Chain A
Amino acid sequence: MLNETVLYLFLIGVVSLVHTNRRYDFLLSFAAAVFVCVVFGAFLLDFKTGLDSSYTLVLDASQNTNIKLDIISSPQNYILILPFFVMTILAMFNNAFFKYEPNKKNMAACFVFNLLSLIMLISGHNFIQMMTFVLVVDILSQLFIRDMRAGRLCSLYNLVSDMGLFLVLAMLEGKLSNLDVGNISHYYETGKHRDFIMFVVMFSLCIKFGFFLFQGYWLDLKKAKFHNLYFLPYLSSSMAALILLVKFYPILVVSPSFLPLVNWLSVLTAVFGTIGAVLSSKIKEKFMYFNMIVMAFLVKLLERLDFQWNIYFSTVLILCFILSMCFYYFHYDIERKQAANKPAVFLEVLTTIGTASAIVLQTSFLFSKNTSWWILGFALVLCFVLALLCRQILSGVKNVKPLKPTDFLSISVMLFLNAFVLFLCRGEAMQYWVVLLFWACLMFVYYLTGFINITKTQEFEFQDVDFLGVFLRKCFITPFKKAGLLINILTDFILLERTFFPLLSGANIWLIRTYRKISRMGLSYYFLCMLFGFLISFYLFIRSKQ
């Protein structure tokens, strides 16, 4: 069952952390990957039997609310966990064999703990468990990045996003007096603020997805090394956000603004990602922009599936991960100046084409009965951008030259392949001539882009654009800082330090001086005191009578 899987993974993770000589790093990381494979085998067997079971560890029952860790084995949870298992195994083997990784063993441990956190996030039904493992995933992502400059913005963005989730979960707990995530649909009946909750959740999740307006940290990650980066969109915070989206769906969907927001954000992200991927000159940048499109595509896909995660969606996710691995290999082939190694590059191109076709195929499986133009459009944009990127990478990364008409035929084979797959798997609702027309238009656009001469200045100008960063700086951080400074000066310095306290001191000095003056007055002083005493007694006498 799932609790056994969790236990075995935990043990593998702990053993991977044991301090050993550096020379055993490969052996240990490889062994860890093999053991995770074995655990995966057991996981698949459990998946086949399809038995429901649950394991609960009560953390503290003495509190006003029970805080517990749930590990619930159910077919739905198995489907959710499956892609992450596969992707982790792929990443672990890659880590074991990749010779430039200095700390394979620790990296392997991080992978295992990350998978463990994702499993706990999926199998948990408790707000605190969910929040805990979202934060653990975020912290582990910092360990993956291992670069202070690249990780700084990422950790700050993730912190803001987590505080947003913290707000919503605390609010739900406060209103429902129940920590179970299964009860969130009742909030609509008990509480209000459906739009507020939806906007806060979407704000937090969009940051994690790196959607348009929130892509600042996403693009900053390009400073990190590629082998610490290629798996990040598929195994870290973004995936935690995807899982949360599925879990929060019942409370999000009650807001009428939810679906339009998802649509607009995913389209804008895809457009921005496409422009960025085409205009940027480095593979890592292209990769980050390309992943923006992938994230938008995945969210849109999930939305069309009514946020019901199924096995086809899991396959699409794995295929997208393989695509990112292709980018990663392209990068290292070019970095090591082995672009001349034609068989390797050919293999990479072939894998890329195959994966892209498989994505389209899987997507069409999802909508064989009811074709969604949105999704097909997204899938085609994905393939189109991929084709462009392959062409750009193969024609030289440093200087992107305008496309020659002769290049057109060789590279567009991939596009036709995808078109062919799409045509074969088209739904009943779609006419084949529409597909052809669509592809003709795409070809035309593709052909035109070859003549766009991208200068360095244009590239830098585009890559330096950080809408949210500028927006935050101009509209929030600067005014906040200025407001803080103003408050500080006005209240602390002018009002307190220069007015209130000197006034107190002045009054004190005045009282002492007056007292001294009066005391020098001799007899009149005693008379004055007596008069004062008499007045007080008189006042008290009157009060007592009343």
Chain B
Amino acid sequence: MSVGILLCLVILLPLIGGLFVLNAKDAVVSNAKNARHTALLTVFSNILLILFLFSHFQSAENQTLGLIDISFALTNKIEFIFGADLFALVFVFGVQIAVFVGILGVKKEVQSQKGVLFFALCYLCLTNGYFFARDICSFYICFCGQLFPLYMLICFANSEIQNTKLFYLFAHYFIGAALLFASFVLIMHTKQGDVLIEKISSVHFSHQKSIYIWGGIFLALMLRMPVWPFYHALTSVSVKLTNPLALIALNFLPLSGVYALTRYWPLDIPVEIELLSPIFQILCIVTMLVAAFGGLIYSNTAQKIHHYIFVYDLLYLLAVFLPTDVIRMNIAYSVFSFLLMGACLIVLQSHMQTQSLKTGLALKGILCHMPKASLCYFLFVLAAIGLPVSAFFWNNFLIVSEIFNYHLYAGTAVIFAMTLAAVSLLEGAYELKTQTCLPQTQIKIKDIDIFSFCVCVLIMSVLLVSVVRPLWFVF
């Protein structure tokens, strides 16, 4: 099979799977299972395809950009180009596994499951497209396109969510999209045609135009990140959601901003923008600290997990803005592990919340009645707070050491925020495991099913073996 077709398949398969999911009947309970199984099968097939794509790279050192390229000419000036390299594939692979875990977490009792699954698969399709896009047109389309399925996913997952909250959230996403659109139009106007994203820095702009363009791109990508004051909108929507798929999609959207900045942000940016860099870094660190403190003050473990995710999103963002390129793959490997752990934690948390609502029991001590979920939850919490036997730990170590290399106080503040986030996560886990007075016989709480448990153990094994070599499953 040609590599180009394979790449197209990886992008489009979720959409095709989504159409099949729509075909499944929603009236009977058993059919609802069919929709879930179809979605699972689709994502699993995509995982296999990505593994096959990995085999086209000879070794981990071969990280040539655009090893696999396909292009579709739309007009003389617009051409959609998609390509894959190791960096993009690691992100895509992580997202597929996260969505797979999220689908496992969607229970058949959830209302409008078909809609949730369909839009999740659409979102996945556009996310894959986003990671593989190499020219500004396809990049912009996928960048904006992600927002619609995400909006629908949130609405299907929780129809009672306040419109104002959603408005605030999507308003700044759309402002970002508009800024990116303006910047890309300026680029196309200058170049008289489509441009590869990594070539933007080599296009010659006038000084003023350069500021507009880079400023626009910078702000557009920034608006994807939970930097203060934008993180508030993200938290206010996250709190209202219990559906794991919607939560995974929402919480990991900022990582698309990290990806784009890592991949395309040039080291020699205009001086005017560069001057803003320290201000932005300070803002990032302040947000990290605020998010870490936020996690500490909430007693709800779901909130602690969201805040923990924000802290790490911002850590990656800080790493991206270091004037060095050497830790690029470290960021990718760390994000890969982070996606896996975060998805599993969200799914387990959502399962606990569902069971708590069903039985009317408090969340405190709920893990005492779920031995399998308890084991998985504690393992993932340990991994998240820095279980050393995973690629997540030592890649973060290298990222933080690089931050220290440039600024001592920034590094100290980052570690402080990380410590607070880790402490609040661990405290939350202990809270869930605190023994309650109720006798075992009176409690009818369902543990996670055996399949989910096996998937969690498999993911844990992937994380543990990744300490030897991050991409051990390929090379």
Contacts and interface: CB of A to CB of B under 8 A. Distances in A.
Interface stretch (B28-36, B189-197, B416-424): B416-424
A131 B397 contact: yes
B294 A484 contact: yes
Given A60-B470, A496-B229, A163 B430 contact: no
Contact of B327 (A64, A162, A171): A64
Interface in B342-395: 382, 385-389, 393-394
A15 interface: no
B426 interface: yes
Interface of A is mostly: helix
A480 B424 CA distance: 12
A174 interface: yes
Interface in A474-492: 477, 480-481, 483-485, 487-488, 491-492
Nearest to A488: B294
| A contact residues, range | 35 or more
A170 B415 contact: yes
A133 B423 CA distance: 20
A166 interface: yes
A169 B397 contact: yes
Nearest to B394: A128
Interface string B402-424: 11111010011001001110110
B297 A484 contact: yes
Contact of B408 (A139, A159, A193, A492): A193
Interface string B40-68: 00000000000000000001110000000
A59 interface: yes
Contact of B164 (A62, A159, A501): A501
Contact of A160 (B236, B329, B419): B419
Nearest to B431: A152
Contacts of A495: 229
Nearest to A160: B419
B296 A484 contact: yes
B240 interface: no
Interface in A503-521: 504
A132 B168 CA distance: 43
Contact of A65 (B297, B398, B408, B412): B398
Contacts of B430: 148, 152, 155
Contact of A156 (B423, B433, B468): B423
A485 B290 CA distance: 10
Contacts of B435: 148
Contacts of A59: 467-469
Given A148-B434, A160-B423, A174-B401, A491 B229 contact: yes
B455 to A, nearest CB: 22
A224 to B, nearest CB: 15
Query: In the complex, which of the residues A62, A160, A177 has the most CB atoms of chain B within 10 Å of its own CB atom?
Result: A62
Contacts of B388: 128, 131-133, 135-136
A487 B385 contact: no
Contacts of B419: 159-160, 163
B108 interface: no
Nearest to A163: B419
A159 B412 CA distance: 16
A173 interface: yes
A167 B415 contact: yes
B297 A481 contact: yes
Nearest to B59: A62
B296 A480 contact: yes
B326 interface: yes
Given A128-B397, A155-B426, A135 B387 contact: yes
B330 A496 contact: no
B393 to A, nearest CB: 7
Contact of B232 (A62, A166, A497): A497
A451 interface: no
A63 interface: yes
B427 interface: yes
Contacts of B402: 174
A390 interface: no
A445 B406 CA distance: 57
Given A148-B435, A160-B423, A483-B293, A63 B385 contact: no
B411 A496 contact: no
Nearest to A192: B408
A484 B404 contact: no
Contacts of A160: 419, 423
A496 B232 contact: yes
B426 A132 contact: no
A174 B404 contact: yes
A488 to B, nearest CB: 6
A159 B397 contact: no
Contacts of A163: 386, 415, 418-419, 422
Contacts of A133: 388
A62 B171 CA distance: 42
Contacts of B171: 504
B400 interface: yes
B228 interface: yes
Nearest to A495: B229
A488 B393 contact: no
B387 A139 contact: yes
B326 A64 contact: yes
A175 interface: yes
B168 A501 contact: yes
B228 A174 contact: no
A175 B400 CA distance: 12
B380 to A, nearest CB: 14
Contacts of B427: 156
A483 B61 CA distance: 47
B72 to A, nearest CB: 34
Given A64-B326, A500-B229, A175 B405 contact: yes
A67 interface: yes
B296 A171 contact: no
Nearest to A485: B297
B397 A62 contact: no
A64 B398 contact: yes
A159 B297 contact: no
A135 B389 CA distance: 9
Contacts of A127: 397
Contacts of B404: 170-171, 173-175
A62 B60 contact: yes
Given A170-B415, A175-B405, A136 B290 contact: no
Contacts of A169: 397, 401
Interface in A27-75: 59-60, 62-65, 67
A484 B293 contact: yes
A193 B403 CA distance: 16
Contacts of A132: 388-389, 393-394
Interface in A448-499: 477, 480-481, 483-485, 487-488, 491-492, 495-497
A171 B401 contact: yes
B423 A159 contact: yes
Contacts of A162: 386
A103 B408 CA distance: 47
A491 B394 CA distance: 35
B423 A60 contact: no
Contacts of B168: 501
Interface string A175-189: 101000000000000
Contact of A67 (B389, B394, B415): B394
Interface string A96-129: 0000000000000000000000000000000110
Given A62-B59, A127-B397, A169-B397, 5 more contacts: A62-B60, A162-B386, A170-B411, A174-B406, A481-B296
14 contacts: A64-B330, A64-B398, A128-B394, A131-B393, A132-B388, A148-B430, A148-B434, A156-B427, A163-B418, A167-B411, A173-B397, A173-B398, A492-B235, A500-B229
The 9 closest A-B pairs by CB, nearest first: A174-B404, A484-B293, A174-B405, A132-B388, A173-B401, A174-B401, A163-B419, A170-B401, A135-B388
